[in-house]
Structure 1
Amino acid sequence: MALRELSPAEARVLAVLVEKQHTVPDTYPLSLNSLVAGCNQKSARDPVMNLSEAEVLRALDELKSLSLVVESSGSRVSRYEHNFPRGAGVPSQSAALLATLMLRGPQTAAELRANSERLHRFADISSVEAFLQELAEREPVRVVRLPRAPGAREQRWMHLLCGPVDASVAAGVPAAASSAAAGAGEVAALAERQAQLEAEVGELRALVERLYQELGVSRA
């Protein structure tokens, strides 16, 4: 069965489960509290998210219905583990790359090799590129190679599990850079408006001064 597009919350929950299976095996499968903390951690995440327990639980329910997550029973605290490779029909190496893309956003093959090392140790960059190419050529397509960003030496890859990549990412502009550019535009607009208001105030002051003089009234 082909997977539907995942929501950002579902993708984050799934990727955290893949990550923590390898990085904290002693506490895996994860409790809800640990999963929420993993979803919202500030390091090694792009974008940084702030999911509530309710949002994570909704994502878990959806992922369970897609056979991507399994809930463990038999303990006082419910625990969750992923079934990503089997549910998505990909090998564990590809699952490691997809999880890293879901956690950290667009990356080059070299960055993916370094960032996914704890999930799977690839022999070299060529091995990473081979798995990425397979994911890009299969049906449904799981990853896309993005246009080279201005000034960049290598092209980046992005997963398609949440649907088509948005225009700013497709253009090779990281989300942070896109936000920074938008912020700079807003600041420039505010500065222009401030200058306009200051000019209008100056004109009003000159008009008031002229009226005082014409009426022969002294200012208190």
Structure 2
Amino acid sequence: MTDATELPVLDAAQARLLGCLIEKEATTPDVYPLTVNAAVSAANQKTARDPLMSLQAGAVQHALRALESLGLARQQFSSRAERYEHLTGKVFGLPNQQVALLGLLLLRGPQTVNELLARAERLTTLADAEDARHHLDRLAHRSSALVVQIPRGPGQREDRWMHLLAGPVDVEAVQARTTGAVPAAAGELEHRLAALEARVAELEARLGDQGGGDPAPGSGAQLS
């Protein structure tokens, strides 16, 4: 897939899982590529996710296989269970910084440059807000744009950015939804929560591997 190729349109589960694969490659490399068990835990985290989701193992496995069919993920096999890795950078021809920013937008919805800068610290290296904005501009001005800038609404101090991998964005609806929203913490508390989530995910992945593989697929995906 190249810059000029039409973008895939992901559903909510597929977008969440692609974001999870991008995130966990950086934050828990010891258990990456992810098993289905680890991917379930990552998708259903209660912090660093918007919206919160409650995906069953079967829905996660289905989403991962759909990403594989789109060329955005690849399945690997270990002695115990199938594992999945993302191919985002290769497919879209992106540097690591842009992959990380896209992953954050997949996981957490519309965000400001400063929110993305703080949250990207665990995933990649960005010099400052201008560097983050430069990479977002590159993502937005490709022939097939991967992100869009959402102009600030009433009472907001900054523009926001949103990914386009789930199809066209209704800018006015996003403005209305985010106007007056309480900004997410970007300081020490968020970093501590993110580190704790990463550690829990790693432990759950290890326990899942020791349990002899993935559970029998369930059915359906439900937003909390």
Which bin holds the TM-score, normalised by the shorter protein? 0.7 to 0.9
1:149-164 mapped onto 2 (5 Å cutoff):
149-164=153-168
Q: Which residue does the alignment assign to 1:72?
A: 76
2:152 partner letter: R
1:142-181 mapped onto 2 (5 Å cutoff):
142-166=146-170, 169-174=173-178
1:88 CA drift (Å): 2.4
| Closer/same/farther in 2, CA of residues 27 and 133 from structure 1, 3 Å limit | same
Higher share in strand: 2
Task: Provide the secondary structure at the position in 2 that maps to 1:173.
Answer: helix
**Is there any run of 5+ residues in structure 2 with no aligned partner, and where?**
182-224
1:176 CA drift (Å): 9.8
What TM-score does the superposition give when structure 2 sets the normalisation length? 0.74
- Match for residue 139 of structure 2 among 95, 112, 135: 135
What TM-score does the superposition give when structure 1 sets the normalisation length? 0.76
Q: State the Cα deviation string for residues 138-186 of structure 1 (Å, max 9, x = none).
A: 1111111112121111111111110112355432523996xxxxxxxxx
Q: Which residue does the alignment assign to 2:38?
A: 34
Superposed structure 1 runs of 4+ greater than 3 Å apart: 166-170
Q: 1 or 2 for the larger relative contact order (CA 8 Å, sep ≥6)? A: 2
Percent identity over paired residues: 47
1:114-129 mapped onto 2 (5 Å cutoff):
114-129=118-133
- Match for residue 58 of structure 2 among 46, 54, 63: 54
**Which sits farther off after the overlay, 99-108 or 67-76?**
67-76
Task: Provide the secondary structure at the position in 1 that maps to 2:159.
Answer: coil
RMSD, aligned CA: 1.7
1:16 CA drift (Å): 0.3
1:72 partner letter: Q
The answer as to whether partners of 1:169 and 1:175 remain within 8 angstroms in 2 is no
Larger Rg: 1
Q: State the Cα deviation string for residues 103-137 of structure 1 (Å, max 9, x = none).
A: 11111111101011111120010000001111111
Q: Which residue does the alignment assign to 1:21?
A: 25
> Structure 2: how far apart are the matches of 1:102 and 1:28?
19
